């Protein structure tokens, strides 16, 4: 069992006062037999009331509004969480029997959303890779491990070449990106072999052992393994997920679990800063400098007759690193 103290701060700074900010945050750790939240403190500029509810996928979501004019919005989350090790599948059941179970699962309500395949121009090229064509020559677990390794080996971890709006086609062509892109690519590969797969948002807490993803929210994938259940795969670090990952939410893709997003009325120019600090039971601490992202301003279209309020609504999202 591991215990982590995680400080996640998000700061939006606007070039001129904005108002009527309506926001959604998904910063509440999943609570189950493998993960327990010891404490959590969430502070928001203006001290608005944060309404918490559960979404369709069972994630805790907070929503709040900040109506008064402001030039800065800070969302400060501090959590203490315990993560228990999870026993891994023994993978002794015959492969044919496991694949048959997956063929049946594709029509079951709990898995339908996680088997739908996104279409994109290079889908046929992706289907031709060895890990897809040969998947049923082994067990679903081994096939998933192979595809996890494929993404790790064939895509370059490179910050700054993608953003929250980068498409799957662009990631495939670039063969580069960050954990958000790696996770979306692995989701696609797993669903191509009829393996239900869901996107996971959270934190990686490696205690300086060289794993990628510190200093921001992290992303990976959970695949449904027959006769076992959901198992996490981290293509950014080529590993199975266990007690070093803290889960915040699961969904079909990043769009379902974005840590922070919202709209506001006012100037389109703003600066986004994000920082995550993790401290450990042994006193060690990992602290990254605030990552600074400068979004492009909203562009007005010539001849656009929509009102100024509509033109200045802008989505705010944090790319997962």
* Tens of pLDDT, residues 45-55: 999 999 999 99
Percent of the chain topping pLDDT 70: 88
- My answer on whether 235 and 271 are in the same domain is no
Q: What is the pLDDT of residue 6?
A: 96
pTM given for the model: 0.91
pLDDT digits (tens, 9 = 90+) for 208-225: 667 887 767 999 999 999
Percent of the chain topping pLDDT 90: 77
Task: Please state, in angstroms and rounded to a whole number, the distance separating the CA atoms of residues 243 and 275.
Answer: 22
pLDDT digits (tens, 9 = 90+) for 4-41: 999 999 999 999 999 999 999 999 999 999 999 999 99
Residue 141, domain member (yes or no): yes
- My answer on whether 52 and 100 are in the same domain is no
Task: Please state, in angstroms and rounded to a whole number, the distance separating the CA atoms of residues 151 and 83.
Answer: 26
Residue 309 has pLDDT above 70, yes or no: no
Last residue of a domain, one of 256, 277, 298: 256
Residue 74, domain member (yes or no): yes
Residue 107, domain member (yes or no): yes
pLDDT digits (tens, 9 = 90+) for 248-273: 999 999 999 999 999 999 877 889 99
- My answer on whether 154 and 64 are in the same domain is no
Residue 318, domain member (yes or no): no
Q: 209 burial class (0-12, 13-18, 19+ CB within 10 angstroms)? A: exposed
Tokens of 238: 């080529």
pLDDT digits (tens, 9 = 90+) for 73-88: 999 999 999 999 999 9
- My answer on whether 50 and 13 are in the same domain is yes
Residue 319, domain member (yes or no): no
Last residue of a domain, one of 256, 279, 297: 256
Contact between residue 252 and residue 198 where contact means Cβ atoms under 8 Å apart: yes
Band of the pLDDT at 316, cuts 50, 70, 90? low
The DSSP-derived string for 210-230 is S-S-TTS-EEEEEEEETTTEE
- My answer on whether 116 and 248 are in the same domain is yes
Last residue of a domain, one of 236, 256, 276: 256
Contact between residue 263 and residue 22 where contact means Cβ atoms under 8 Å apart: yes
What is the maximum span of the chain, computed from C-alpha positions, in angstroms? 65
Residue 313 has pLDDT above 70, yes or no: no
- My answer on whether 119 and 184 are in the same domain is yes
Tokens of 204: 């990686």
- My answer on whether 288 and 189 are in the same domain is no
How many structural domains does the chain have? Answer: 2
- My answer on whether 231 and 203 are in the same domain is yes
Cα-Cα-Cα-Cα dihedral sign, residues 54, 57, 62, 66: negative
CATH number for 244:
3.10.620.30
- My answer on whether 11 and 101 are in the same domain is no
* Residue span of the structural domain in which 73 resides: 2-83+257-311
């Amino acid at each position: 069992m591991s215990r982590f103290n995680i400080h996640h701060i998000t700061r939006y700074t606007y070039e001129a006062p904005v108002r009527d900010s309506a926001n959604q945050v998904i910063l509440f750790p999943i609570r189950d037999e493998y993960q327990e939240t010891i404490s959590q403190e969430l502070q928001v500029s203006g001290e608005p009331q944060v309404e918490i509810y559960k979404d369709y996928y069972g994630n805790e979501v907070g929503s709040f509004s900040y109506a008064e004019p402001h030039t800065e919005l800070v969302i400060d989350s501090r959590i203490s969480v315990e993560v228990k090790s999870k026993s891994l599948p023994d993978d002794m059941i015959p492969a044919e029997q496991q694949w048959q179970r997956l063929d049946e699962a594709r029509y079951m309500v709990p898995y339908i959303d996680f088997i739908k395949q996104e279409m994109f121009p290079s889908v046929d090229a992706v289907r031709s890779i060895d890990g897809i064509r040969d998947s049923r020559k082994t067990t679903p677990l081994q096939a998933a491990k192979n595809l996890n390794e494929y993404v790790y080996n064939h895509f370059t971890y490179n910050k700054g070449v993608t953003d929250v709006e980068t498409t799957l086609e662009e990631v495939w062509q670039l063969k580069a990106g960050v954990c958000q892109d790696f996770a979306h690519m692995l989701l696609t590969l797993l669903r191509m072999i009829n393996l239900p797969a869901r996107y996971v948002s959270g934190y990686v807490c490696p205690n300086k052992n060289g794993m990628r993803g510190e200093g921001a929210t992290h992303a990976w994938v959970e695949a449904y393994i027959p006769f076992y259940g959901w198992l996490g795969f981290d293509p950014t670090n080529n590993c199975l997920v266990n007690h070093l990952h803290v889960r915040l939410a699961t969904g079909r893709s990043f769009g379902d679990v974005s840590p922070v997003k919202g709209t506001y009325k006012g100037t389109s120019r703003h600066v986004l800063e994000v920082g995550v600090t993790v401290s450990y039971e042994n006193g060690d601490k990992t602290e990254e400098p605030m990552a600074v992202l400068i979004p492009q301003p909203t562009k007005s279209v010539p001849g656009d007759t929509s009102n100024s309020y509509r033109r200045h609504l802008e989505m705010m999202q944090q790319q997962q690193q």
